Each structure stands twice: as C-alpha cells, then as structure tokens.
A and B are shown apart, each in its own frame.
Chain A
Amino acid sequence: MMDKWTFGLTMLVVGMGGTIVTLILFSFIMSALKKIFPYKKEE
C-alpha cells in the first residue's frame, strides 16, 4: 500500500490534471463540431 502523501499527490496531479485535460479535449471537440455543423439562420 502506498503512503498517504504519494496517494494524495497522485490524486491531485493526475486527478486535477486529468479533469483539466479532459475538459480541454471537450472544448476542442465542441469547437470542431461547431465548424463541421455551422449554425444557419433558418434553424
């Protein structure tokens, strides 16, 4: 079993980092979707 500091810091770095990276990815995907399916006025 790892010590609590290794665990805590891993959660902070990988957890917070993972959340940020995932949401950056989401924002790129959404920007791409907006380009592929642009808004048209008649919608």
Chain B
Amino acid sequence: MIDAMLGGLSGLIAGFAALQWSNALMMIIGGTLLYLGIKKDFEPLLLVPIGFGCIIVNVPLADLMEKEGFLRTLYDMGVITELFPLLIFVGIGAMTDFRPVLESPYTFLLGAAGQLGIFLVLLIALWMGFPYNEAVTIGIIGACDGPTVIFVASKYAKELLGPCTVAAYSYMSLVPVLQPPIMRMLTTKKERETIMKTHKKTVSDTTALLFPIVITVVGGLIAPMGLPLLATIMLGNFMKESGAVARLTKASENEIANIVTLFLGLSIGATMNGPLFMKPTTLIILALGLLAICLDTVGGVLFGKILYYVTGGKVNPLIGAAGISAFPMSARVVQKEGQKYNRKNYLLMHAMGANAGGQVGSVMAAAVMLSVLKGMGVI
C-alpha cells in the first residue's frame, strides 16, 4: 500500500521533475507577452492568447501538442491547413477602407516601396546560410502583416512559425517606436513640413465596389499562388462595399475574426515549446525581422522623397513610411510626425492611402514571391 501511495505521489511531482530550464524560460517569455499585451497594449488580441499558449505548452507531460492534445487539434485544424490566417484576412478586408488609396492611386507605389525589406532580408538570410524556404519565410516578416507571415510559414517552414509570427506581431506593435527615428533620419525639416492638398471625394460607389473584384482577378492572374491571401481580403472588402450582406460583414469583422484570433493565438503560442524554440536561430530571426521592418520604412520614405522631387514638392515624403501593412498604425504615426513639424499639416488621409496600398502591397509581394518560387521550380 505504501508503494502504491509513493507511486501516486511520484505522479504528482513528475511534472516538476520533467521541467527543463528552457520550459521555465519560455514560461517567463509567455508571461512577458501577456504583460506587453495587457499593460502596454501591444496587440493584446494576439499577444494574450499567444502568451497563454506559450505558458501552457511548456508545462511538461501535459502533451498539449501531442496527437489528440487540444492545442495540436487547433494547430492542425487551422494553421496546417492555412485556414486561420485566411479567415482573419476576410475580417481585415471587411474592416479596411480602400477609398483613400483609390482617391490617389499613386499611393499604391508607396505600398510597393514599403515591401523592400522583404526582399533585402531574404538576401541577407541566404547569405547567413538559411535554406531557401527558411530565407523566404524570414523575409516575409517584412510584410509587417501577421496573417501573411503565418500563411507563408505554415506552407514552407513550419518550424519557423513561432519565431516569425511573434516577430511580426511584436514589431507591428512597435511601429510607433521604430518608424519615427528612421523618418527623421531620411528627410529634411523642409520636406517634413510639406503641406499636402486635402482630398476631394472622387471615388464613386461603383469604383469602390469593382476594386476588390478587379484586384482579385488581375492579381490572381499575375500571382496565382497568392490568390488565397488576395481573394480573402478582397472578399471581406467586397462584402463591406456591397452593403448587401451587412450580417456577413459584421460577422467577419467581429465574431469570426475574434474566434479565429483566439484559436490562432493559442496555436502560435503552442509552437513556442522551450526545447524547440530556445535556439540561437530564434534570436537571429527576431533580429532579421526587425531589420526587415526598418528597411521597409527606409524604402517607403525614400520613394516618398522621389515623389517629393518629381511632383515639385507636393508630396510629403513622410507618407512613404505608411507604405507598410501595419494598418492604420503607421498612418497615425505619419500624421503625428507631420504635425510635429507643421501644425497645419493633415497627412492622415494621404497616409491612410499609402497604408491601404501597403496592405495590398504586402499581400501582392507575398503572392509574387510564391509565384516566382513556383516559376523557378523551388516549390
């Protein structure tokens, strides 16, 4: 009987005995993500479930990521199948107003320049010895777009899903800290003070309605591998612009997006198992992700400067910084920065145009990248 009791007691301390230092450290990291989400308001909708998932997956012997574990079920159901990021995209499309970019279609180009970091960091990752699929996945952090990163990582480098996703969401929330110094470094005071003309309303409802369909078809023909990304974001936007399916639009931007965000966050947290996550590679990926987002800002602002000179000083180059996909955060950063140097400066709507262009740009960059890879026979 004593043996049975001792056996039973050993079962209660087995978890402590199996705890490795890397699990304990990951629990602290999970706690830090919770702190950043709750106290610092850094992307709480994602960081809270990711942080919680990270903590529970590091409890030994619970087998949450083993076959039939509940986190494994969520992961297999929505991440392996790429379903979660795509469902999130329907919600993002329903929440995004593309009219500012339609008012000034040239801002699409800022959205292209804001993807420079993706391709430069891909090159750096290759130089550092990462294999093709991993280099592509690391580069895509520069899309500054969580669902795109998850889509590409779950397709081509599942082992990098955790660090790449954490990097993407963390740096997106750090945009207000990361961008202003780069914007100031690359522009002169005179350029930052440039006042841009206020938009007149020039977009008809028909144009706004046709936009998602035309972009889906043309973009899909150019880069079919990225059609799921493009089609889902544009579906959400089409439903919003049509005004005919208010219930579906509301469900996409609220209930569906919320439920999927919870499941997605937990699934990402579940990939952060200590022994698998605690590698020097993780730190390198975090550093490269940071570099990618900084280079995106450099690309956008430099292209903004080109527009400034080409238009004879009519475009404030600061709006180039909004050519990334962190919507609408980077547009707000541009507005704040512009007003610092000229209180009469209202850059928000122009920056929103560049930001919406960045949203389409990041999806197109990923789509083009995947189709080029397919064309080269790499995937």
- Contact A37–B207 (Cβ < 8 Å): yes
List of A residues within 8 angstroms of B291 by Cβ: none
A10-B372, A11-B369, A39-B203 known; A19 vs B361 contact (CB < 8 Å): yes
Q: A11-B122, A27-B105 are in contact. Are A20 and B372 (CB under 8 A)?
A: no
Complex contact B123–A11 (CB within 8 A): yes
- B119 near A15 with CB under 8 A, answer yes
Count CB-based A-B contacts (< 8 Å). Answer: 120
How many residues belonging to B are interface residues under a CB distance threshold of 8 Å? 48
Which B residues lie within 8 Å of A37 (CB)? 204, 206-207, 210
B108 at the interface (CB under 8 A from A): yes
Q: How far, in whole Å, are A13 and B277 apart by their CA atoms in the complex?
A: 33
For the complex, would chain A's binding face be called helix, strand, loop or mixed by DSSP majority? Answer: helix
Chain A 3-23 interface residues, beta-carbon cutoff 8 Å to B: 4-5, 7-12, 14-16, 18-20, 22-23
User: Contacts A7-B378, A30-B207, A43-B204 known; A22 to B116 CB distance under 8 Å?
Assistant: no
**Residues 81-124 of B at the A interface (beta carbon under 8 Å):** 101-102, 105-106, 108-109, 111-113, 115-116, 118-120, 122-123
Contacts of A28 in B (CB 8 A): 105
**Do residues B202 and A29 form an inter-chain contact, with CB atoms below 8 A?**
no
B102 near A23 with CB under 8 A, answer no
Given contact pairs A15-B372, A34-B204, A26 touches B108 in the complex (Cβ within 8 A) = yes
Considering residues B102, B119, B136, which has the most beta carbons from chain A within 10 angstroms of its beta carbon?
Answer: B119
B364 on interface, CB distance cutoff 8 Å: yes
In the complex, which residues of chain B have a beta carbon less than 8 angstroms from the beta carbon of A18?
Answer: 222-223, 368, 371-372
Contact B108 A38 (CB under 8 A): no
- A16 and B80 CA atoms in complex are apart in Å by 28
Q: Which residue of the partner chain B has the closest CB to A10? A: B376
Interface string of B337-361 (1 = CB under 8 A from A): 0000000000000000000010011
The interface of chain B, by Cβ under 8 A from chain A, is 101-102, 105-106, 108-109, 111-113, 115-116, 118-120, 122-123, 126-127, 132, 135-136, 201-207, 210-211, 214-215, 218-219, 222-223, 357, 360-361, 364-365, 368-369, 371-373, 376, 378
- 5 new A-B pairs (CB below 8 Å) besides A8-B123, A26-B105, A34-B102? A15-B122, A16-B365, A26-B108, A26-B218, A26-B360
